[in-house]
Amino acid sequence: MFENISQNNVYKNLINGKWVEAKNKNTIEISSPVDGKFIGKLQALSKEEVDEVFEGSRKAQKAWADTPVNERSKILHKAADLLEENAKELAKILSREISKDLDSSLSEVVRTADFIRFTADEGMHLEGETIGSDSFPGFKKNKVSLVTRVPLGVVLAISPFNYPVNLSASKIAPALVGGNSVILKPPTNGAISALHLVEIFNAAGLPAGVLNTVTGRGSEIGDYLVTHKLVNFINFTGSTEVGKHISEISKMVPVLMELGGKDAAIILEDADLEEAADNIVSGAYGYSGQRCTAVKRVLVLDKVADKLTALVSERVKKLKVGKPEDGGKVTPLISNKSADYVQELINDALDKGAKLVVGNKREGNLVYPTLFDHVTTDMRIAWEEPFGPVLPIIRVRDIDEAIKIANESEYGLQASIFTKNMDDAFYIAGKLEVGTVQINNKPERGPDHFPFQGVKSSGIGSQGIRYSIEAMTRLKAIVLNIK
């Protein structure tokens, strides 16, 4: 099924219905973060080729918008079926490309098929409304506003390395079912997996140009893409640094942004500490901490801190560390640069007196799961997003100190509260400046029809299937004036 997307390990781009090589032959070499072995090469498209991509996308979008939504929906269902049929093959590619453990890789692909199916059905209910004029003072019954939802046009989808399949599809599918065309700029680390996903949409019957791709380093081609005159919407998931840059240069183009996070797990005195420890460890060290919704700090009431730290520590020590193909759950990070940054935060915490409970061991870009206790707010690890397997435990006197520290973060993605007291849970949840509060569960984006949003430096707008469709369509009113 994927024979067209590459030749001699050089991956092409889907441009207006054809898999093509870049004219300038500029390529980017991709090696596996697991063992440094060569995986393939990506094309670095030129600005002229990007123009061709946009022109084709704009042209195709007109006909796609006129395609009945039941036909658009049928193609998405076909894509979901094809994805499911190829899930194991794609999961292996993804695991090697981004060093994700095998279970999580397969889960990402299967979850994406479910995502696409749910989107295909949700898109069939893009209802509007009719509004009569006489409900407003002074008006008679002589006007009716017929309100519908229409597509925005060309959606530029930019996805991150840590979910190259799911977080590409989470933009592509809602955009397509809403009648938009899509240009996908996949992450350079993860592009090969994303291009396989694109071929699945292509094979499902998308008309030429409705889904195009642009590979190339975001730092080189990104600004040209984002400021292109034919962009009608930018759907970005990635770092806060890049997100802020995009929002500065995108001017009047509407955006949906899911950015960084520093999700806190707040542990009250009456919490079920075993349950809390299970959630903290899976939340903090899943995919080696490379998840925006990872638990990135624990705020625990002094009274139960010793017990909780001991329970977390015993679980961390049991985590399997190593390559995905060897069953590793904590695997090599996406790059040595990422590992260097994590090590910097570890060293800073040690220098400032944090108590090392587990870890501080590194082999290349493999960072062993690391746990600190007695972290204080003068340490960088208390505030920065490591995007790695390191967790700070911060002890607090009371609930209000926990809320204060939680809200002092520049980020506001999710937070978790562990307690049996629902009055306390809702009191805290009401005060937290985040997009989502989990009660007695780790932070997480799923299920994917839930609204998912970040505030402050964690994002703009809401993702989640219906919310993404609404974000990538707009209202159009036709007013009937009755004589």
C-beta of 476: minimal distance to ligand G3P in Å?
Answer: 31
Residue with Cβ nearer ligand G3P (83 or 210):
83
Taking a C-beta distance cutoff of 8 angstroms, is the pair 168, 175 a contact?
A: no
SS3 of residue 365 by DSSP: coil
Interface stretch with ligand G3P, choices 6-14, 291-299, 352-360, 396-404 (CB under 6 A) = 291-299
Which residues, 94 to 133, sit near ligand NAP by CB under 6 A?
none
Which residues, 112 to 171, sit near ligand G3P by CB under 6 A?
162-163
Q: Classify 94 in phi/psi space as left (phi over 0), alpha (psi -120 to 50) or beta.
A: alpha
Q: Using CB distances below 5 to 8 A depending on partner kind, what does residue 444 bind out of ligand NAP, ligand G3P, none?
A: ligand G3P
Q: Does 446 bind ligand G3P (CB under 6 A)?
A: yes
Among 78, 96, 100, 291, binds ligand G3P (CB under 6 A): 291
Q: How many CA atoms lie within 13 A of 273 on its CB side?
A: 18
388-417 footprint of ligand NAP as x/- string (CB under 6 A)? -------------------------x----
Q: For residue 447, is the peptide bond before it cis, meaning its omega torsion is within 30 degrees of 0? A: yes
C-beta of 29: minimal distance to ligand G3P in Å?
Answer: 26
Q: Which residues are catalytic?
A: 258
Among 177, 264, 292, 300, binds ligand NAP (CB under 6 A): 292
Structure tokens at 381: 């690890």
Q: Using CB distances below 5 to 8 A depending on partner kind, what does residue 11 bind out of ligand NAP, ligand G3P, none?
A: none
Q: How many residues bind ligand G3P (CB under 6 A)?
A: 8
How many Å from the N-terminal Cα to the C-terminal Cα in the chain? 59
Looking at residue 301, the DSSP 8-state letter turns out to be E
* Interior angle at CA 92, CA 91 and CA 94, nearest 5: 65
298 CB neighbour count, 10 Å cutoff: 30
Edge-first strand order for the sheet with 143-151 is: 129-132, 143-151, 473-481
Cα gap 319→324, rounded to integer Å: 13
Structure tokens at 10: 């050089």
- Alpha helices of 388-431 — where are they, by DSSP H? 399-407, 422-431
Residue with Cβ nearer ligand NAP (359 or 412):
412
Q: Does 385 bind ligand G3P (CB under 6 A)?
A: no
Q: Does 260 bind ligand NAP (CB under 6 A)?
A: yes
Residue with Cβ nearer ligand G3P (13 or 293):
293
Closest among 276, 312, 292, 324 to 393, alpha carbons compared: 312
Interface stretch with ligand G3P, choices 39-47, 274-282, 438-446, 469-477 (CB under 6 A) = 438-446
SS3 of residue 19 by DSSP: strand
Closest among 320, 316, 380, 314 to 347, alpha carbons compared: 380
Q: Does 365 bind ligand NAP (CB under 6 A)?
A: no
184-223 footprint of ligand NAP as x/- string (CB under 6 A)? -x-xx----------------------------xxx--xx
Q: Which residues bind ligand NAP (CB under 6 A)?
A: 158-162, 185, 187-188, 217-219, 222-223, 226, 237-239, 242, 245-246, 258-261, 292, 385, 387, 413, 454, 459
